[in-house]
Amino acid sequence: MSGGHEVLTWLHIGDLHITAAEEQNYKDLGSIVDLANSLPQGSVDFALLPGDNADDGTPDQFRLVATEAARLRMPLHVITGDHDFKPRTLDAFYAVPGHEALPKAVWMAGRRCLFLDLVSAGSGGLDFRLGDRQLDWAEREVEQAEAAGQDVVVFMHTYPADLQEGRARISALLARPHVVCVDMGHTHYNELANDGGTVFMATRSTGQIEEGPSGFSIAAVDGRGVSWRFKTLDAAWPFVLVTHPVDRRLVPDTERGRVGTVVRAKVFSDTPVVAVEMRPDDGEWRAMHPVEGQVALWQGDLPVRCRGITVRATGANGATDEDRVEPADPALPPPVRRADGSDADRIDAWPEKGVLGTQLGPNRNGRPW
């Protein structure tokens, strides 16, 4: 694989709900920034704040977010959530240096990334709307991406089914073949869904936590394949994310069975990585090697068709980490999909990825806790 092979990778810092500097969620934000800054430059393309950054949308809360965000040594993209819009204005949001006007399109690692605003066209609270102007813009962006042969990644605060207006148009847009995934916040729990064409991913909150320890997710798009995994703050580096082949639970229906003969993985570490190995099923471990011209990307030849592939990385400090995928079996039909822009096509508990399946959260899909 030539050095021209680009894997889009981002670090998702879940809904912060920042209120005061002495609260644990603000301390956790500082820890996440420290961990992100410990990685080699270029191993992650950018970090994302998915909305609900300031719990009450006040200038003081946004200043706290800005203080930690200013320490981050990788690009940061920030979108809006309902809590940011509590004052019924985004003046405090846009007063933060680096908060760019939404919606916006950014070209990164060979993909067109669209960052949307679901709140300012609404009346506040859970009145999520896009508005005709933003929908027109998004449709033009996707059409231009398709004409240029570019894949699209969309970042928005919540599932399209949560919109009070514009659900049909945005759902039709997200179903277009070049839209590979949608990354969201809002749920308060980790969740992955695959409607057969588009993968939806939500990372649990950093503040107002209902399940498990705090942390962040790392997601990747390799070709048209989507990978995702959650890292808790107490887990040491290295951290492995297999990006190819795509796990059967996340593979688009049109790509089922196209495993190929190469395994790729991103390996994130604050110390040099001394070895990366892969193992098909329960076979022998085989060495992988860095991809020339890429940061933190490793690959190896897949010798046989297999049911599962494990990749293991070892850091110079002796610590190890593993990630595992199960390629789709082309002989099996894909699951029946609802494909309605909701969590109906969610994947069951997947603890190895950090998906607990408990759905503990205050949103409309959440269960009582």
Query: What strands lie across the sheet with 273-280, from one edge to the other?
Result: 286-287, 273-280, 309-315, 320-325
CA triple 256-257-259, angle to 5 deg: 115
24-47 pLDDT per residue, tens: 999 999 999 999 999 999 999 999
Q: Do domains 7-235 and 253-325 have the same CATH topology?
A: no
Who contacts 119 (Cβ-Cβ below 8 Å, separation ≥6)? 51, 80, 81, 82, 84, 85, 90, 128, 129, 157
- In whole numbers, what is the pLDDT of the chain averaged over residues? 94
d(CA 23, CA 26): 6
Which residues is 309 bridged to in the sheet? 280, 325
Comparing CA positions, the residue from 7, 11, 6, 5 lying closest to residue 219 is 11
- Confidence band, pLDDT 50/70/90 cuts, at residue 23: very high
Residue 313 has pLDDT above 60, yes or no: yes
Q: What is the pLDDT of residue 176?
A: 96
Residue 264 has pLDDT above 80, yes or no: yes
86-139 pLDDT per residue, tens: 999 999 999 998 899 999 999 999 999 999 999 999 999 999 999 999 999 999
Give the 3-state secondary structure of residue 15.
Answer: coil
CA atoms within 13 A on the CB side of 54: 28
Residue 314 has pLDDT above 60, yes or no: yes
Assess contact for 47 and 11: CB atoms under 8 A: yes
d(CA 233, CA 202): 18
Residue 257 has pLDDT above 70, yes or no: no
Percent of the chain with pLDDT over 70: 98
Residue 7 has pLDDT above 80, yes or no: yes
Q: Report the topology of domain 253-325.
A: Immunoglobulin-like (2.60.40)
- pTM for the model: 0.96
State in words which class domain 7-235 has.
alpha beta
Residue 352 has pLDDT above 50, yes or no: yes
268-283 pLDDT per residue, tens: 999 999 999 999 999 9
Q: Where are the domains of the chain?
A: 7-235, 253-325
Q: What is the pLDDT of residue 1?
A: 32
